[in-house]
Structure formats: structure tokens, C-alpha cells
A and B are shown apart, each in its own frame.
Chain A
Amino acid sequence: MNIIETKKLTKYYGKAIGIVDVDLDVKEGEIFGFIGPNGAGKSTTIRTLLGLIHPTSGGATIFGKDITKFGPEIKEEIGYLPSEVFYYDDMKVIDLLRYSGSFYKKDQSVIAKRIEELAAYLDLDLKKKIDDLSYGNKKKVGIIQGLLHEPKLIILDEPTGGLDPLMQQRFFELLRKENKKGATILFSSHILGEVQKLCNRVAIIKDGKIIKVENIKDLAKNTHKRFKLESPTKIDPAQFISLKGVSDFVSTDSGVSFLYRGDINEAIEIIAKLNLTNLLVEEPDLEEIFMHYYQTDKIS
């Protein structure tokens, strides 16, 4: 069964494009990644699903129910965590969470217990005032308010900002646990690594349009690495250009940089012989993947 299904979902802000003809289906029990550069339309899609903005044309269903007609009913089973969280500064954390819980039909004592559990797990002080919390701690409040009613669908819009690596790990662990219990997750991000860690399938969006929907395994197969080498002497470009899987090769006086997709050992073998001052091997950012994977691959 499809938990989320959008049909030609389109949103224009005046004349500016938000999203165009977005067709998505997120199946029950999967962790679905939604990835694209900033401003590509991830948030617009999510905000439309949540009824915060109204579609220009097209439509969507969640749990098989139309989002414009059954908004409140659908949201009973949705947990949402945005990238930036803002809560009532005058409230204490516990008051905010109780207030959040009071919107749901679920037994309030169950919710109260769940708040305690989640707060302990995330190491959050419930007695503090919202105003006194650090950004990361506010984020934890966001996580708890999104999960306290054990929603069937969890929607996350670039949720990891502000969380330190340890908390990020716990957060992902929490999501996996919810997923095992049966929750479907829509996870939007502009960081490929995050999505790869967590998701089963991923949709790639750019300029308001879905470019591709793939299994994460297929995407991982095509992992590119960006190599940046710095050297006091000029590096001979020929040895890299002849290496299979190198693209976007740039040579400057201080070093070289290129994208590499292939056996990592072959690259290391060449690099080992060089006299270097610095070496960086990074995940390429999304723009680069779009530029050098999706476009060039299609041509070749």
C-alpha cells in the first residue's frame, strides 16, 4: 500500500516555480529519501503534503485520503520535524510537549510516558524553558514532539542540522526503531551520506522536478569520490587522466582535483608515489553528482 501518493503535484508561487508535476509514491514501511540541492522543491513538496501550502494543481493522498479534504484527520498519524524548529519561548519544555500531545486523540498518559522515555534517551532536560535551550536542544524538543504520538508516517525535512554526531546517531537509531515498529519515513536532505545511511529508496529532485527515483543500493554503486591533492611540485596530469573513472579533472599550480568512480586502490597506488602537502577525499556534493553522474551518464 502507498502511504504517500502524489499525482502531478504542482505549486507556483505567483510566477515562480515551486514544484512541477511531482509524482511520488512512498510505500508502507519504507524509509524514503528525498534529496536535492537547496531550493529544489523538497520543502515545497513536504509543506504541500502537510497542508501548509495549497497546491496550484495536481493532488496527493496520504493513507489513501486526499490531503486537502482530510488534513486534520491525516495529521493525527503524522509526525513532522522541520529543519528549523521554533517553539513558544515562554513555555517550559514539558509544557510545550504536553501541549503538542494534547492535539492527538491518543491516551494522554501514554503520551506522557513516551515523552519521559524519549527525553531520557535524547538526554533532554524537560524542566528548562524553551528560551534557554541551545539550538541542538531545541532540535531534540522537535524530535520528541514529532514522535510522541507514535505516528504511522514520519516526515523529516532536513532534520539533522544542529545535532552533534552522537545525537545524530541516536536520532537515526530512533528512526530505525520506529521504522521497525511499522512507521513509514519520508526523509528529506541535501546530504547524500545521510540518506545513504538510512533510506531504502530515494527520489532526486532538482528545479522543482523529480529527476529520478532509485534504490539506494543502485545509487551507492555509483558512488563518486572527490579527490583533492596539493603538492609543492606540479603533478603530471597524464597519470590521472589515463585512470579509468576519472572525470572533472582540474589541474592548477598547487595541485589537482577530480571526481573518481572506480577501484579506490588503483587511485591510491598512484597517489602514494607523489610528494603531497595535503590530500582530501570527500563525498561530492549533490550538485556535482547531478552534473557528472546524471547528466554525463545519460549522454554516454
Chain B
Amino acid sequence: MNVFFRELKAYQKSTFIWIASLCTLVVVFLLMFPAFTKDVEATRAIMANLPLAVRNALDISLQNFFTVYGFFAYLLTFASLAGAVQAMNIGVGIISKEDSGKTVDFLLTKPISRIKVVTNKILAAVFILLLTNLIFILVALSTAAMVSVSSFDAGLLLLIALTLLFVQLFFLAFGILLSVLIPKIKSTISVSLPVVFGFFVIGMLGAVIGNDNVRYICPFKFYDSNYIIDHSAYDIKFLIIEAVFILLAITASYVIYLRKDIRAVS
């Protein structure tokens, strides 16, 4: 467990900053909710004047946008983007930083198996993401309760909020896989940002051109908020896709890392 705690400590500062940013985002956004809904008809008219393609790109749905759920789901698009970067940074970095910092010799000559090293690191990463989401959800729900004029279904809001965690877990797994596949990673950002934004843009383009198949390859579109709001449930298909992907990525990461030669530093 010492590796687990070491990683928590190493990511303490950055986790704090991510949590603070995500919470600020959700609070500021939700505080604007009353302003948007004061004159629903007027705002809706403005929105309706936007071309459909723009609305799709911005992920605005006229039917739900003015409910607290729709509004929250909308801000979650951006929270997910930020959260994906956080998760991907951890995923790419948590194992590869031992390589780039050349500390891997130190770690792997201690009496600990590589399986345990990877497991501890993955657990630490998941713990960090769970903590981030827990605080995010608490702040989101209490702010929503504050700004919502009518009573609302906290369970439904929770369902929507949890999609942040799902998106993060996807990118965490993908990041870990990339980190064991790419031989030398000098900076995690140079890997994580292009990947995350790449997926985000793919999702956006898919929405603009109306191609539904894009949903299957873009984790940002796995959990369609309108579907969740209408059904009070997730589209199970995508939960399965994600679970299978994570399982494969993590298994592959273990196999690759266990067989890897740790070459001398040069």
C-alpha cells in the first residue's frame, strides 16, 4: 500500500486544483441558471434562432435546456472535457513518470512485483477520480438545490453527474494503455491533450453532421443527456462498451508492463 499512498501524495496538489476548478465551474454555471430561466420564452427564441448545426455543436437541446437537468447536463459537457484531461493526465503519467523521472530502477529493485506496482497505481488513480467526483457531485447537488425554483429529482441529477466519472474512467484506462505502449513519454500533457481534444472534436463534428455512429467511438457521447433525462437511466449498450474497453485496456497494460525490459538510463 505504500506505493498507493505515495501516489496520493504525489497527486495531492494537482487533484486539489482540479477539484477546485470543476467545482467553480459548476457553481458559476448553475448560478446563471435563474437568469436563463427568468424569461424562458425570450431565451428560447434566441436559442431557436441559432442554426441547428450550431445548436448541435454546442450540445443545446431546446426541450431540456431550461430544466435544471438539461442545464446541468449542458455544463457537464465542459466539465467532462476538463475531467477527461485530468483523468488522461493521471493515466498517462502515473506509470510513465517513473520512466521519465528515471526512478523506475529504484522502484522495481524493491521487493515488490510489477503487478503490485501497477495495481497500486491504478487504485490510487481511481481513488483520486472517485474523490474528485464525490466532491463535485456534492457541490453540484447543493448548488442545484439552491438555484432551482421548483423541486427536483436529485436521483436524476446524480445519474447525469455520474457520467463525468464514466468519461474519466474511460480516459484513465486509455491513458494507462498509451503510457505502456509509447516507449518514451517526455511530457504527459503532450499525449493527453491531443487525445482528449481529438475525441471531443470528433464528437462535436459527429453531432454537426448528424452521424450517430460517432457515438460508438466517442466517450463524450456515450451518455446522451437527453436519453438519461427521458428514461431516467443510461443507455446500457454504452455502459457495456465502456466496461469492455476498460477491461481490455487495463489487461493489455498489465501484460505489456510485466514483460517490458527496463533499460538502463542513458
Interface residues of A (CB under 8 A from B): 13, 43, 47, 50-54, 71-76, 78, 80, 82, 84-90, 99-100, 102-105, 145
Shortest Cβ distance from residue A95 to the other chain B in the assembled complex, whole angstroms: 9
- Give complex CA distance A75, B10 in Å: 25
Contacting pair A84 B109 (CB below 8 A):
no
CA distance A166 to B5 in the complex (A): 38
Could you tell me the distance between the alpha carbons of A68 and B210 in the complex, rounded to whole angstroms?
54
| CB–CB B105/A72 < 8 A | no
- 4 tightest A-B contacts by CB? A86-B102, A103-B110, A53-B261, A52-B262
* Chain B binding surface, main DSSP class: loop
A74 to B109, CA, bound (A): 10
CB < 8 Å: which of A80, A86, A90, A103 contacts B112? A103
A99 to B2, CA, bound (A): 7
Most A C-beta atoms less than 10 A away, residue of B103, B110, B112: B110
**Which of chain A's residues have a CB closer than 8 A to the CB of B259?**
54
Closest Cβ neighbor of B115 among chain A residues: A72
Complex: A246 Cα to B198 Cα, angstroms: 71
A53 to B108 Cα, complex, angstroms:
11
- Residues of A with C-beta under 8 A to B264: 43, 47, 82
Q: For the complex, what is the distance from the CA of A9 to the CA of B126, rounded to whole Å?
A: 40
Please, how many residues of chain B have a CB less than 8 angstroms from a CB on the other chain? 21
Q: A47-B264, A86-B265, A90-B10 are in contact. Are A102 and B2 (CB under 8 A)?
A: yes
> In the complex, are the beta carbons of A87 and B106 less than 8 A apart?
yes
Please, which residue of chain B has its CB at the minimum distance from the CB of A52?
B262
**Whole-angstrom distance between the alpha carbons of A275 and B110 in the complex?**
59
The distance from the CB of A282 to the nearest CB of chain B, in whole angstroms, is: 28
With a cutoff of 8 Å between Cβ atoms, the chain B residues found around residue A76 in the complex are 111
- Rounded to whole angstroms, the CA-CA distance of A86 and B103 in the bound complex is 5
Nearest-CB residue, chain B, relative to A11: B261
Chain B residues, Cβ within 8 Å of A73: 111
Question: What chain A residues lie within 8 Å of B261 (beta carbons)?
Answer: 13, 52-54
How many A-B Cβ pairs are below 8 Å? Answer: 65
Chain A residues, CB < 8 A from B2: 99, 102-103
Q: Does B263 contact A (CB under 8 A)?
A: yes
Q: A79: nearest residue on chain B (CB-CB)?
A: B109
Residues of B within 8 A of A89 (CB): 101
- Given A43-B264, A54-B261: A75 touches B105 (CB 8 Å cut-off): no
CA distance A76 to B110 in the complex (A): 7
A145 — which chain B residues lie within 8 A by C-beta? Answer: 106
**Given A52-B262, A103-B2, A71:B113 Cβ within 8 A:** yes
Residue of B nearest to A102 (CB): B2
Contacts A52-B108, A53-B262 known; 14 new A-B pairs at CB < 8 A: A50-B109, A51-B108, A52-B261, A72-B111, A72-B113, A72-B116, A75-B111, A75-B112, A80-B109, A82-B105, A82-B264, A84-B265, A87-B103, A99-B2
Q: How many angstroms from the CA of A169 to the CA of B263 in the assembled complex?
A: 30
The reply to whether B101 and A88 form a contact with Cβ atoms under 8 Å apart is: yes
A73 to B113, CA, bound (A): 9
Residues of A within 8 A of B102 (CB): 84, 86
14 A/B residue pairs, CB under 8 Å, sorted by A: A43-B264, A51-B108, A52-B109, A54-B259, A71-B113, A75-B111, A86-B101, A86-B102, A87-B106, A88-B101, A99-B6, A100-B106, A103-B112, A104-B111
Task: Name which residue of chain A comes closest to B105, CB basis.
Answer: A82
Measured in the bound complex, the distance between the Cα atoms of B116 and A105 in whole Å is 15
Give A87 to B109 CA distance when docked, in angstroms: 13
Q: How far is the CB of B8 from chain A (nearest CB, A)?
A: 13
> CA A51 – CA B103 in complex, angstroms?
15
- Residues A52 and B111 in contact, CB atoms below 8 Å apart: no
Distance from B203 Cβ to chain A, minimum over Cβ atoms (Å): 36
Given contacts A47-B262, A99-B6, contact A52 B105 (CB under 8 A): yes
Residue of A43, A52, A54, A75 with highest tally of chain B CB at under 10 A: A52
Q: Measured between alpha carbons, how far is A80 from B107 in the docked complex, in Å?
A: 11
- For A103, give the chain B residue with the smallest CB separation: B110
B266 closest partner in A (C-beta):
A84
B28 CB to nearest A CB, Å: 32
CA–CA, A52 to B259, complex, Å? 10
CB of B112 to closest CB in A, whole Å: 6
- Cβ distance A27 to chain B, nearest Cβ, rounded Å: 22
Bound-state Cα–Cα, A199 to B112, Å: 30
How far apart are B257's CB and chain A's nearest CB, in angstroms? Answer: 12
Which residues, 1 to 25 on B, are CB-close (under 8 Å) to A? 2, 6, 10
